[in-house]
C-alpha cells in the first residue's frame, strides 16, 4: 500500500489517555487491574471470589451484550450491596487508579485545530466508561468507538474496519496508538501506521509522532497556545 500522509489519530483510552493499570485477558485468563483488586478489598472478599462474581457479566458488558442497568443489578445482588453503593465503589476506584493524560490531550487538541481528525477506539465496560471518559472532554473527538457501545472489542478486526469506515480515510492515513501489542497487530495488518504506547516521552519521541509534530510545529503551539491551562477544570 502506497505511503500517505497521516490525517487521523486513532487512540486508546485505558492505559493511554487514562493512565493507570488496565485489566486484560491473557491466554483466556482475566488478569485483574488495581481497580478490581481494590473493589474486592472493599467488599471484604478474595480476588478469586470477586472474579467469579463478575466473570460472565464483565465479558458480556464489555461488548454491550447487557445493559448498564442489568450489570448493576446482577453485581449488586452478587455482592449483597445496593446498586448505589456498587456504582460508587467502581467510580471511586477507577478515579483512584487512573488519571487523565492531560499532556497528551493538549497535543491532540492542537492537532485537531491544525486539521487532523482525532478519534477514539477503546475497550470499556459501562462502569469504566463512565469513570474514565468525561463527556466534556470526549465530546471534542470526532469518531468515538467504545466496545460496549458497538458490540465488538479489540483485537477483533471488525472494530478496526468500523473505525476506518467511520473516519472515511485510507488505513495508511490513520495512526493508531494503543498500549497493548495484541491490539496493535490487527491495525498493522489492515495497513494503519501504529505506535505501541508506553509513556508520553516514548510517544513524543517516536519518529511517526515527531513527523506529525514537525508539520504543525506542535512544540511551539503547545507552549504558546495552551501553556499550563488545565483542560479538566
Q: Where a domain ends, among 97, 119, 141?
A: 97
Model confidence at 34: pLDDT above 70:
yes
Give domain status of residue 90, yes or no: yes
Model confidence at 226: pLDDT above 50:
no
**88 and 119 fall within a common domain:** no
**Distance (Å, whole) CA 29 – CA 142:** 34
Average pLDDT over residues 11-29: 79
**105 and 217 fall within a common domain:** yes
Alpha helix positions (H), the chain:
34-43, 47-61, 68-79, 83-97, 102-113, 126-132, 135-138, 147-150, 157-167, 181-189, 200-205, 207-216, 218-221
Give domain status of residue 233, yes or no: no
CATH code (residue 170) = 3.40.50.1000
The values of phi and psi at residue 182, to 5°, are -70, -20
- Domain of 65 in residue numbering reads as 24-97
Give domain status of residue 139, yes or no: yes
Average pLDDT over residues 165-175: 97
Q: How far is CA 25 from CA 6, 133, 229, in A?
A: 31, 22, 37
**219 and 126 fall within a common domain:** yes
Give domain status of residue 44, yes or no: yes
Give domain status of residue 3, yes or no: no
DSSP 172: G
Give domain status of residue 232, yes or no: no
Position with higher pLDDT, 229 vs 97: 97
**105 and 93 fall within a common domain:** no
**86 and 109 fall within a common domain:** no
Give domain status of residue 64, yes or no: yes
Model confidence at 224: pLDDT above 60:
no
Q: Where a domain ends, among 36, 65, 97?
A: 97
Residue 211 pLDDT = 93
Model confidence at 100: pLDDT above 80:
yes
**145 and 74 fall within a common domain:** no
Mean pLDDT of the chain: 90
- Of 23-32, 99-108, 123-132, 168-177, the one with minimum mean pLDDT is 23-32
pTM of structure: 0.88
Residue 217 pLDDT = 76
Residue 50: other Cβ atoms inside 10 A: 20
**124 and 221 fall within a common domain:** yes
Model confidence at 89: pLDDT above 90:
yes
**Residue whose C-alpha cell reads 471511586 in the numeric block:** 92
Please list, in sequence order, all residues whose beta carbon lies within 8 angstroms of the beta carbon of residue 225, skipping any fewer than 6 positions away.
110, 113
Give domain status of residue 169, yes or no: yes
**12 and 76 fall within a common domain:** no
Domain count, the chain: 2
**16 and 47 fall within a common domain:** no
Residue 26 pLDDT = 58
Amino acid at each position: 500500500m502506497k505511503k500517505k500522509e497521516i490525517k487521523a489519530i486513532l487512540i486508546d483510552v485505558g492505559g493511554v489517555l487514562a493512565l493507570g493499570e488496565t485489566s486484560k485477558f491473557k491466554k483466556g485468563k482475566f488478569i485483574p487491574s488495581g481497580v478490581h483488586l481494590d473493589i474486592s478489598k472493599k467488599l471484604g472478599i478474595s480476588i478469586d471470589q470477586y472474579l467469579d462474581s463478575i466473570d460472565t457479566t464483565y465479558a458480556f458488558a464489555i461488548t454491550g451484550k447487557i445493559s448498564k442497568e442489568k450489570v448493576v443489578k446482577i453485581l449488586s445482588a452478587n455482592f449483597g450491596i445496593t446498586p448505589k453503593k456498587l456504582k460508587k465503589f467502581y467510580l471511586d476506584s477507577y478515579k483512584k487508579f487512573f488519571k487523565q493524560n492531560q499532556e497528551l490531550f493538549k497535543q491532540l487538541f492542537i492537532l485537531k485545530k491544525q486539521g487532523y481528525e482525532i478519534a477514539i477506539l477503546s475497550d470499556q465496560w459501562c462502569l469504566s466508561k463512565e469513570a474514565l471518559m468525561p463527556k466534556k472532554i470526549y465530546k471534542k473527538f470526532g469518531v468515538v468507538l467504545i466496545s460496549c457501545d458497538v458490540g465488538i472489542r479489540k483485537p477483533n478486526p471488525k472494530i478496526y474496519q468500523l473505525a476506518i469506515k467511520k473516519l472515511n480515510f485510507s488505513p495508511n492515513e490513520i495512526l493508531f496508538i494503543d498500549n497493548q501489542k495484541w491490539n496493535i497487530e490487527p491495525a498493522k495488518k489492515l495497513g494503519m501506521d501504529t505506535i505501541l504506547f508506553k509513556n508520553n516521552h516514548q510517544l513524543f519521541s517516536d519518529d511517526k509522532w515527531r513527523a506529525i509534530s514537525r508539520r504543525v510545529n506542535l512544540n511551539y503551539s503547545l507552549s504558546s497556545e495552551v501553556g499550563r491551562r488545565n483542560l479538566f477544570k
